[in-house]
A and B are shown apart, each in its own frame.
Chain A
Amino acid sequence: MSADVPAPRKTVLAGVSNETFLTFFMIGVLVVLFAVACLFVPNFYLLQNIINLFSNYWFVIILGIGVTFLLITGNFDMSVGGVVALTGVLSVWFCQGYNVSQNALANGLGLPYGAAVALALAGALCIGAVNAFFIARLRVPSIIVTLATMMVARGIAQVITRGAQRNTSLPDVFGVIGNTFIPGTSVKIAVLIMVLLVAAAYVVEKKTVVGRRTYLIGANATAARLSGIRVSGHLALLYMVSALLAGVTGILLASEYKAGLSSRAMGYEFDALVISLLGGVSIAGGFGSVLGMFVGAIILAVVTSSATGLLLPPDWQFTLKGIVTFIAILAQRFALDRRKG
Chain B
Amino acid sequence: MSQTANVLEIKDLVKDFPSVRAVNHVSFDIKRNTIHCLVGENGAGKSTLIKVLTGAMLRSSGALLLNGEEYWPHSTRDAKEKGISTLFQELNVVDQLTVAENLTLGMEDTRFGFLRATDKISAMVSVMNSLEPSIHPKMLVSRLSVAQKQIVEIAKAVATESDIIIMDEPTAAISEGEIKRLFTIVKGLREKNVTVIYISHRLDEIFEIGDYVTVMRDGRHIGTKPVSEVGDRSELIRMMIGKTVFEQYTPKAQACKDPLLVVRNVSNHKLHDISFDVHEGEIVGFYGLVGAGKTELARAIYGVDEYRGEIRFKDRRLSPSPDKAIQAGIALVPEERRSQGLFTVLTIRGNVPVMNMKKISRSGFVNASQERKVTREYIDKLRISTSSTEKEAAKLSGGNQQKVVFAKCLFADADLLMLDEPTRGIDVGAKSEIYGIVRRLSEEGKSILIFSSELPEIMNICDTIHLLFDGRLKATLRNGCDIDNEHVLHIVTGGDAP
Contact = CB atoms under 8 A, between A and B. Distances in A.
Contact of B302 (A207, A224, A226, A229): A226
Which of B343, B344, B390, B412 has the largest number of chain A CB atoms within 10 A? Answer: B343
A223 B346 contact: no
A223 B339 contact: yes
A222 B323 contact: no
Given A220-B343, A226-B341, A228-B327, A215 B365 contact: no
Contact of A230 (B323, B345, B346, B366): B323
A225 B332 CA distance: 11
A211 B341 CA distance: 20
Interface stretch (B12-20, B263-271, B350-358): B350-358
Given A207-B365, A287-B345, A226 B322 contact: yes
B364 A208 contact: yes
B125 interface: no
A210 interface: yes
A147 interface: no
Contact of A219 (B323, B326, B345): B345
B304 interface: yes
Contacts of A208: 361, 364-366
Contact of B345 (A212, A228, A286): A286
Contacts of A229: 323, 354
Interface of A: 17, 207-213, 215-216, 219-220, 222-230, 286-287
Nearest to A206: B366
B216 interface: no
Contacts of B302: 226
B39 interface: no
B69 to A, nearest CB: 44
26 contacts: A207-B366, A208-B361, A208-B366, A209-B365, A212-B354, A212-B366, A215-B343, A219-B345, A220-B342, A220-B343, A222-B339, A222-B340, A223-B343, A224-B343, A225-B304, A226-B332, A226-B334, A226-B340, A227-B355, A227-B408, A228-B323, A228-B326, A228-B355, A229-B323, A230-B321, A287-B345
Nearest to B330: A228
A219 B346 contact: yes
Contact of B364 (A17, A209, A215, A230): A209
Nearest to B395: A340
Contacts of B412: 228
A229 B304 CA distance: 13
Contacts of A286: 343, 345-346
Contacts of B366: 207-209, 211-212
Interface in B316-335: 321-323, 325-327, 332, 334
Contacts of A210: 364
A75 B90 CA distance: 29
B341 to A, nearest CB: 6
Contacts of A223: 334, 339-343
A211 B326 CA distance: 21
B301 to A, nearest CB: 13
B343 A212 contact: no
A72 to B, nearest CB: 11
A136 B142 CA distance: 27
A230 B322 CA distance: 9
Given A220-B343, A224-B343, A227-B326, 18 more contacts: A17-B390, A208-B361, A209-B357, A209-B364, A209-B366, A211-B366, A215-B343, A215-B350, A216-B354, A219-B345, A220-B342, A220-B344, A223-B334, A225-B304, A228-B322, A228-B325, A228-B327, A286-B346
A226 B343 CA distance: 12
A220 B340 CA distance: 8
Contact of A212 (B304, B326, B342, B357): B357
A287 B344 CA distance: 12
A6 to B, nearest CB: 24
B471 to A, nearest CB: 21
A135 B128 CA distance: 42
Nearest to A219: B343
A229 B343 CA distance: 13
Contacts of B344: 219-220
Contacts of B322: 225-228
A92 to B, nearest CB: 36
A270 to B, nearest CB: 26
B346 A226 contact: no
B346 to A, nearest CB: 5
Contacts of A17: 347, 390
B323 to A, nearest CB: 4
A13 B411 CA distance: 32
Contacts of B342: 220, 223
B346 A215 contact: yes
Contacts of B361: 208-209
A210 B366 CA distance: 9
A228 B355 CA distance: 6
Nearest to B350: A215
Which of A17, A215, A219, A222 has the largest number of chain B CB atoms within 10 A? Answer: A219
Contacts of A211: 366
Nearest 7 pairs between A and B by C-beta? Answer: A228-B326, A219-B343, A228-B323, A286-B345, A227-B354, A209-B357, A227-B355
Interface string B110-139: 000000000000000000000000000000
Nearest to A285: B345
Contacts of A228: 322-323, 325-327, 355, 412
